[in-house]
A and B are shown apart, each in its own frame.
Chain A
Amino acid sequence: MKLPHETLRGTLVAGIALTILLFLLARMLVNEIA
C-alpha cells in the first residue's frame, strides 16, 4: 500500500495541510490571550 508521503506530491500536500492546521491552532492560541 502506498502512503501519502511516498510521493513528492503527497509529501508537499501533507506538509502544507499540516502547516495550515497548525497555523489555525496558533492563531487561536495567540488570540485567546490577546
Chain B
Amino acid sequence: MQGPQPQHDEFLQAYDQYADAIFRHCYYRVYDREKAKELSQECFMKTWEYLSQGKKVDNLRAFLYRVANNLIIDSSRKKKESSLDAMMEEGFEPRETGPEKTTVAAEAGQMIALLDKLDEKYRDVVRMRYLDDLSPKEIALALGESENVVSVRIHRGIKQLREYMA
C-alpha cells in the first residue's frame, strides 16, 4: 500500500538536514538554548502541518526559515527577550554545548553582538547569509523580498559591520 510513508520519510530527512541550521537561526535571535530548541521544534511541526494539508512549498529550506522568523516574532511579542547586552554583562558567551564542548571564540561572540547594532533590515539578511548560509535567492523567498533588494542589503550590511569593527 502506498500510504503517506514516503512524504513522512522525506520530511524527516529534511529535519535531519536542517534541524541544526534552524536551531542556530533561532538561537542567535533569542540567545537562549532551550527557547531556541522549542522554537525550532515548533517550526518543523508547523511546517509539517502546512504540508500535511496538501499545500505546496517551492523551497522547503526557505519556507522553514520563514516559519521560524514568524515564530521568533510571535515569541518576542509574547515576552521581551533579554537583550544581548544585558546578557554579556552577566558574562554570557555564545557557547557550543555539542559533544566536543568547544567554546565559540570570544571574537565570534563580539561579532554577534555587533550584528545586533546593525539596522534591522541589514541585520536579518546578514545573519541569514553568513550565519545560516542561505543564498540571496533563498533569503528573498524567506523574507518575501526581491533577490535584488536582498543582495543590496547584504552588501550594505557588511559595509556597516566593517565600520563597526574598525
Q: Do A and B come from one complex?
A: no
List residues of A whose CB falls within 8 A of some B CB.
Answer: none
